[in-house]
Amino acid sequence: MRLGITGNPYKTGIDKVIEHILKHFDDSELLIWNGLENNLKEFKNLNYADELTLKEEADIVVSIGGDGTFLRSARFFIEKPIMGINVGTFGFLTIYGEENLQIALENLKKGNWTCEERTVLQAKLNDKTLIALNDIT
């Protein structure tokens, strides 16, 4: 299994999440969005790629940030299972945080997880298609 990791580079705590992930997964099992590279300078030998490569090569996407980051990930990685990890205030969609991250990662590694499908909304306005998980603004 290959994890594609994306997130909000302006959120603090991404490095701590990566540290937890590396306790359960080898760096060879991770493909990290290159937009997070500046947040992760302390880690060596991580594999970075652009989002299109993550979309093609990742089996599961880990989205680190808040609900906004999760929604952006859901739009871009629409065909992939996404695990949302919250590093900010309470998240409705990013249900994993510091208090339950370890057990979630253990279950993910063991294959003890399920994918909950969500309804996706699509709107067209002035020849532009918008995709939303919970609202269209």
Residue 27 is a catalytic residue = no
CA atoms of 83 and 24, how far apart (whole Å): 15
Q: What is the 3-state secondary structure (H, E, C) of 98-109?
A: CCCHHHHHHHHH
User: Which one of the listed residues 27, 67, 127, 135 is annotated catalytic?
Assistant: 67
- Token code pair at residue 62: 């880990």
Task: Catalogue the active-site residues.
Answer: 67
